Every structure is written in C-alpha cells, then in structure tokens.
Amino acid sequence: MTGKGRSDPSRRRHNPEKAEGVLVSAVGSRIPRKIDKIFEDGWKEHVPLSMLTDSYCESREAAADPDKMSWTMKHGRVALASSSLSTVKSELDLNFAEWTQAWRRLLILIKRYFRKSYLNRWRAHFNHIFSNPNRDRYWHLFLQYDSSMRERSTQESIDASVFQQHIFDHFVLEHQLQPSAPQPLSMPQGGHPLPTPSTRRAEPPLLYNSTDRPGPRNSYTNPRHKGDKKFFRCFRCGRAEPHGPSTCRHTSQSNGREIIITKPVAGGPWMLDGGPLCYKFNTASGCPKPDCDFKPHRCSLCKSSVHGAQQCTA
C-alpha cells in the first residue's frame, strides 16, 4: 500500500530512532505522580528526598498506576491519601550523589507549581549546602539541616534563602553530645555558613508575612502568623527548639513525661492512642479545616481536645 505516511518507516515508529552512545539524563526519569500531586496541592506535606532519587523514581513502586493508589475526599477535592507514600530508605542516609539527584527533581517541582521568587529561595538553600567546603566532612549534619528546613516549611513560613544558623547549631550540639563525636567542628573560611555552634544568642527563624509566603499558582494560601518571630514548639516533645517532629531525637517530653505520639509508618499520619492525629492542629497555624479528616482534634502532648501543642501547659 502506498502513501506518504506508510512509505516512511520513521513515521510508523512511536519512539524516535535510538542514537548509539546517547544516555538518558537521570533527571529525566519520571517524577512519581503521587509526589507531583503533593506539590500541585501546595506542598503542605513533607516529602522525603529518598522518594526523588534515581533509584526510587525508576522503581516499580514509583511507576505504580496513580489510579491504584489510595485516594480520599478532602474538602470536596480528591486528594492522595498519606498512606500511599512510602520509602525504602531514610533521607538521612542519602549520599551526596543521591541527594543531588533528588534536589534536581525537587527544584523542577518547585519551578512547576510555585513562583520564581520561591524557587530562587530554595535554590539558595541548596547552594548553601552544595557549596560549603565542610559539606563532605559533616555530611550527616547538613542532611539533618536540609530535612528540617523542608519539613518546617510545610508547617510555618521560614525563609529558605537564609542559612538558619540556629537550626544548624542545634544539630551540631546534638552531634557533640554523642559519646563518639569527634572534636568540635572547625570554622570554615571564605564566608561560608559556620558549621559550629554560634557564640551569639540564637535568633528566631526569619519568617514571611502571611501574604509573602509564595503559595502554589492559582490557589489559596492560608494566612500565617504575622510578626510572630519565635521558636515554635515541636509537637512531639514540646520543646521550643529549632527541630521538627520528624527529626526529633528526644526520648521524653520537655516536662519529663513520656512521648505519646508515634512517628508515621510508610508516610502515614502521626498516631495517638492507635488513631491518626491531626498534626496541623498542633502547629502554630492550627488546623483551619472544619471538616478535618483527623477529628476529633487532640493535643499531641496531653491529649486535650481544647488546645493544641503550641498552647499546652501540661
């Protein structure tokens, strides 16, 4: 049979001709739809970098059909259920190559769904770590700092473009309190962020005003606390320290009582007495959703239904 389309073999190919010696870029690996969905919805949920590495993005789990994932109705919208998130490796165990792979995809997601000014802030955060001369020597500390910054940004408006020395100092002090810790961290040269405890008084995080925090395009951003420049309490241990609940290492609450919530399993919700806990209710911004899926709201420190962790006096 003749015809222009049928006489040209290349037109019958679904994929282009293979070019010998040409490799597909690692960052070209498909970003899992379940992760893309989180950023499309405003990045209100912490995403471990281990779910953006080459190995994960090329895995069967990442390629799973989104229609077979767990979905739930939230405020009249179909949303990805938290239980659909899982990871085979902790993001705190990533090596530099894996971390870089993941960050390239993360920046693609931020560029896709947020304003350029917000993208530039996270690029600056990435460069603070990538360019630090002490990065390799204290890699585990920078991983903790990076994870804490990204987790906190889903709960409060923190400026990622500024190296938050007080947050880094917290992990340095934790490291030095360990029996096997090496000598105090040396001070780098060249104006890079100091990977050593600051001698000055710790300053609170630099926060955005409620209207400045860049939200997803064409979506509503919930109001934030204006001018509330203070440490927010970790809703796991109750301490007003620069760490998030996912990176909290304390074994008891600040008042000496036992910790009553358990960490999420495979990306699921925080648990209290065997049931899911609304973490938003226990953050500084509170839960703005009257039809929250995790009601009844309860304090993560004392189980009260009257207040959250930030107001708890127990």
pLDDT band at 266; cut points 50, 70, 90: low
Determine how β-strand 271-272 pairs with β-strand 261-262.
Answer: antiparallel
User: Does any domain span residue 252?
Assistant: yes
Examine the pLDDT at 2 and tell me if it is beyond 50: no
Q: Is the dihedral of CA 51, 53, 58, 60 positive or negative?
A: negative
What integer is the mean pLDDT of 60-88?
53
User: Does any domain span residue 301?
Assistant: yes
User: Does any domain span residue 257?
Assistant: yes
- Compare 21 and 309 and report the one with higher pLDDT: 309
Each residue's pLDDT tens digit, 285-314: 678 777 788 888 999 999 988 888 888 887
Examine the pLDDT at 72 and tell me if it is beyond 70: no
Helix axes 96-113, 139-153, angle to 10 degrees: 20
Predicted local distance difference test score (pLDDT) of residue 145:
93
Per-residue burial over 235-260, b = 16 or more CB atoms within 10 Å of its CB, e = otherwise: bbbbeebbbbbbbbeeeebeeeeebb
- Compare 210 and 253 and report the one with higher pLDDT: 253
Each residue's pLDDT tens digit, 123-170: 999 999 999 998 998 899 999 999 999 988 888 888 899 998 888 888
User: Does any domain span residue 178?
Assistant: no
How many domains does the chain divide into? 1
Host domain of residue 245: 231-314
Which of 49-53, 65-69, 221-225 has the lowest average pLDDT?
221-225
- Compare 191 and 102 and report the one with higher pLDDT: 102
What integer is the mean pLDDT of 106-116?
95
User: Does any domain span residue 269?
Assistant: yes
Examine the pLDDT at 116 and tell me if it is beyond 90: yes
The number of helix segments (H) and strand segments (E) in the chain equals 7, 5
What integer is the mean pLDDT of 12-28?
40
Examine the pLDDT at 217 and tell me if it is beyond 60: no
Predicted local distance difference test score (pLDDT) of residue 29:
52
Q: Where are the alpha helices (DSSP H) in 44-87?
A: 54-57
> Are the C-beta atoms of 267 and 47 separated by less than 8 Å?
no
User: Does any domain span residue 31?
Assistant: no
